[in-house]
Structure 1
Amino acid sequence: MTKAVRTVPMGLGPAMEVGELPAPPPFTFRNFMQMVGVSAILISISIGSGEWLLGPRSVIQYGPALLWIATVATVLQTVFNLECQRYTLATGESVIPGLMRLWPGRWFWGPVWALICILSVSPGWAASSATALAALHLGRLPGDADRGLVLVYGILAMLLVMLVVAFGTRVERTLTRVSTIAVVFIFASLVILDLWLVPWEWWGRVAAGFFQFGYLPSGEGGSVNWTLIGGFAAYAATGGVLNMAASNWMRDRGWGMGSQVGYIPALIGGRKVEVSTTGKIFDLTAESLARFRQWLRYCRWEQWTLYFGGCLLGMYLCVLLAVGLIAPGTPLPGNYDIAAIQAHAVSQFIGGLGWVWVLLIGFWVLWGTQINATDAVVRHLTDLLWSAGLGRWTRDDIRVVYYIILAVVTVWLAFLFAYNPLTLVLLVANMAGVAFVVGGLTLLWLNTRILPPELRPGWLSRVGLVAISAFYAFFVYQTAVQVLRQLQGV
């Protein structure tokens, strides 16, 4: 006899089946290290967006005192990540399809989040990493005459993104391995270069900047670049919908109820996996609640140790190298990324080795961000369409949806290569601020109204979600006012 399937209503979306929450491995240091992976992907995105590009540029222009923004941003984004993961641990559903359950429903929130996702990815990281490759090829900083070469390398970098995520058993596992290798190489290289080249006086000055809370540059006539500062604030850790992908990657790792709904397999080396169009909830028993708290414990340890610590350390090391070699206030060209500029500065001290070394760091930092950011947006759009029932048109193979969207996004990004890489990064960074304004409040709504009372966040997490919306609303407002004034010629 077939066992009857029980369901429970969950907001405005379809009812969820009731399943069993699996028990996590016993919490030991060895098990913890074997289970981590989401933080490696998030740190890989973080170090390319804020730490390598916008952090050094902001600090060189306005001084280390601006780094308090990174401290606040990293605290708030860690809380945000954990609340995204809370929902997925409880339901197995990634957070953006979860937000479709809120009033007035998916026909309102679907287009809103699809638009935010599309505007949150650009080829700016690939184009900037291409600058590093072009500099290696030329043996000098690329100029305007070398634009064609940079374009070729940039398109090759985007194609490499598609190639890498096509192999493996599951996409998340491939990203974790690539990100882990990149993060280890980048951090080890930065520590060595900072110890070797940066004067000791800068170590304390940069560290102090993380605690100079409230400092903001002042200027008249629009001399403060709020687009840069707003982008730096959003990308000081990860950034908007890229943070929200923590729930998708965790689901694909099989944490909590994520093990009950399936994952996105790779195109080559993977196999067709049955992926549910909706989440699954568990019975609220003493045993299941204890298991849920243990899963949350793993999440909190990963986020507050590896993610939080890794983001702040990455920002510190990247900014330290930049300001130790490039005098504050030095004008930085907007056409090419800071990787080639830092490589040139390092080469003045240690010759050709420094030139090649820093350019390779820059490539790995920026290309690693491109692959993970592209995957994050593609899987958000995939989950949106899959939860809407698109599986029936693809023989229930989620790979078809994922790789078609990846191909379309890649073609779209190729058309954007004509634009300034830094401009593209700044645009998507400020869109990340918008995502936090909307996402902080809607995530609070989701976790305090849709989840059962026993699984809802405590008051500190609720305050954190309100704070992240307010924090980024300030920078979004300042940026919007400045852009409008520039358009009006004020």
Structure 2
Amino acid sequence: MTENPPGVTERQLGVSRPALVVTHLPEPEEVFGVGRLGAKELFKFAVGPSLIALGISIGSGEWLLGPQAVGQYGFVGVGWVILVSAILQTFYNVECSRYVIATGEVPVVGWGRVPPGYLFWVPISVFIIIFAFIAGGWASAAGQGVYALVHGVVPPAESTEPEWWAVALLVLVFLITASARRISRALELANWVMVSTILLGLLLIDLFVVPFSQWWEAIRGFVTPAAPPAGITATQIGALAGFTALASGLNWYVMGHYRDKGYGMGHRAGFIAGLRGERRELLASGVTFPEDERNAALWKRWYRLLLIDMWGVFFAGAMLGMLLPTILMAQAVEMSGRRPTQADVPTFVAGVLRAEYGPFLFYVALVLGVLILFSTQLGIFEAMVRVTTDAAHATSPRLRALIEGDPRRFYYPFMIVLLVIISIIIFQALPVSLVQWSANMSNLGALIYPFLLMYLNSRLPRAARPRWWHYVILVLNFLFFGFFFVNFIADFVGDPLLTF
């Protein structure tokens, strides 16, 4: 590690957590082990965390909530919600990642630096993540797809076999992480395969099945502000907004992968290794860089890589991931003359394609649906374990002593416990109901975390601090997604704030 500048060793950021050690930013070439970071090296080595986020993104919102909303109500009045949500969330992702790259701390640890301190923010943040995603709707929906793939028919309402397939997929997530040398890298490679297959497969089916008029109607719906269609509820719109792109105010739970990828100061902080990997040190507290010209120039390089990863891969992929399934659903509704329900939306398109074009497209659609929902399952399940592990490791010296500084000794046992709990929950409700609950709970994060980000990012080294308009966009996240959460609660306890 490079020596600290003379007279500068630590920088206090916020409250209740240890001061950040000050050292120089690494060069991207040093981190990725290349002589020059050109276009080829960029996509081979630097792109990655956005793919994990995108694998989650092209999932519950894109295959369940978006298609269900479009299938029932059309594009106009719904599409613009998708576009606004994706733009706001991508800006929000950048701000979350800014903190990670500048300090090497993942967000759940960083929240502990905001008054009143880590004893309040860290446990409550872990609770919100677990509470939002433990319902397991993404797992249950994937199980429905596997059932249809195995039996060639959509599952009957009374069958519990889809839930058992969902449990099997949870076990598969455990096996993927357990067989990895570096968990984040294994997730990246899995999502390279799944996301590429999903987008290419959907594009080919859409080009074959969907007429140009339907493509144009969807694109027009994305860019045309219009009142929500009659009959749709603000709770449905809130679920769509919450799970378009990623998870609105809770997106921070995935951005910690920039640390494990080695972006910026993440290279100094360490990562969580898989069972096959060598034990690696994971710092309990972060590091940051001095305020000088050399580090300011290096920060600009890291920030550009972040923008490429987020806007060039995540945003573009998320918009395609919402466009391609929704126009396919709209065409399926038109061809079949009926609309999807909460019970059959995971396999609705596949059933229509079989009736119109035969078994080949039926199985192709089912495979794509399973990949879409499994990529979400992989990312969300692992992230719940990761967030809890990072929080416990950073804030509990007693735990660090118990596991002898090896976070894997907490990570994998906790994953097994969570697997058992989710396996019980998914037998209790329909997948779309579970996903709508999770999506609206994600909007809760927008009432809280934009303001915590403002506090933290305004105290970073000057080169890394946001510009004034970044704060405006964070407030817009609060207003847009926060409204839908307040409406969700009002609807849950009585009457919604708005009806259409």
Question: How far 1:243 sits from its partner (Å)?
Answer: 2.1
Match of 1:10 in 2: 13
Q: Please tell me whether the aligned partners of residues 70 and 210 of structure 1 are also in contact (alpha carbons under 8 angstroms).
A: yes
**How many percent identity over aligned positions?**
31
Pairs within 5 Å for 1:309-458: 309-327=316-334, 330-336=338-344, 338-389=345-396, 390-418=399-427, 419-448=429-458, 450-458=459-467
d(CA) in 1 for partners of 2:437, 2:104: 32
Match of 2:52 in 1: 41
Q: Tell me whether 1:227 sits opposite 2:235 in the alignment.
A: yes
Q: Counterpart amino acid of 1:305?
A: G
Q: Which of 174, 188, 211 is matched with 1:199 structurally?
A: 211
Instruction: Answer with 49-58 or 453-462: which moved more.
Output: 453-462
Match of 1:75 in 2: 87
d(CA) in 2 for partners of 1:148, 1:247: 35
Question: How far 1:366 sits from its partner (Å)?
Answer: 0.3
Provide, for residues 7-58 of structure 1, a one-character-per-residue CA deviation record: whole Å limited to 9, x for no partner: 2212111111122210123553223212101111111111112111111111
Count of matched residue positions in the alignment of Structure 1 and Structure 2: 478
Q: Please tell me whether the aligned partners of residues 239 and 440 of structure 2 are also in contact (alpha carbons under 8 angstroms).
A: yes
Q: Please tell me whether the aligned partners of residues 241 and 377 of structure 1 are also in contact (alpha carbons under 8 angstroms).
A: no
d(CA) in 2 for partners of 1:189, 1:181: 12
d(CA) in 2 for partners of 1:381, 1:150: 28
Question: How far 1:482 sits from its partner (Å)?
Answer: 1.7
Q: Please tell me whether the aligned partners of residues 27 and 298 of structure 1 are also in contact (alpha carbons under 8 angstroms).
A: no
Pairs within 5 Å for 1:9-408: 9-12=12-15, 13-25=17-29, 28-34=38-44, 35-65=46-76, 66-121=78-133, 122-145=135-158, 147-218=159-230, 223-240=231-248, 243-267=251-275, 269-327=276-334, 330-336=338-344, 338-389=345-396, 390-408=399-417
Distance 1:131 1:39, change over 3 A: same
Q: Please tell me whether the aligned partners of residues 127 and 417 of structure 1 are also in contact (alpha carbons under 8 angstroms).
A: yes
Unaligned runs of 5+ in 2: 30-35
d(CA) in 1 for partners of 2:196, 2:233: 33
RMSD: 1.9
Secondary structure of the equivalent of 1:120? Answer: helix
Secondary structure of the equivalent of 1:284? Answer: coil
d(CA) in 1 for partners of 2:324, 2:216: 12
Q: Counterpart amino acid of 2:271?
A: Y
Unaligned runs of 5+ in 1: none
Match of 1:466 in 2: 475
Q: Please tell me whether the aligned partners of residues 81 and 222 of structure 2 are also in contact (alpha carbons under 8 angstroms).
A: yes
d(CA) in 2 for partners of 1:475, 1:323: 25
Question: How far 1:91 sits from its partner (Å)?
Answer: 0.6
Question: How far 1:394 sits from its partner (Å)?
Answer: 0.5
d(CA) in 2 for partners of 1:318, 1:201: 16
Distance 1:240 1:412, change over 3 A: farther
d(CA) in 1 for partners of 2:471, 2:387: 24
TM-score relative to the length of structure 2: 0.92
Match of 2:33 in 1: none
d(CA) in 2 for partners of 1:257, 1:456: 15
Q: Please tell me whether the aligned partners of residues 339 and 358 of structure 1 are also in contact (alpha carbons under 8 angstroms).
A: no
Q: Which of 473, 483, 488 is matched with 2:492 structurally?
A: 483
Instruction: Answer with 27-36 or 340-349: which moved more.
Output: 27-36
TM-score relative to the length of structure 1: 0.94
d(CA) in 2 for partners of 1:111, 1:153: 32
Q: Counterpart amino acid of 1:6?
A: T
Q: Counterpart amino acid of 2:18?
A: P
Distance 1:167 1:242, change over 3 A: farther
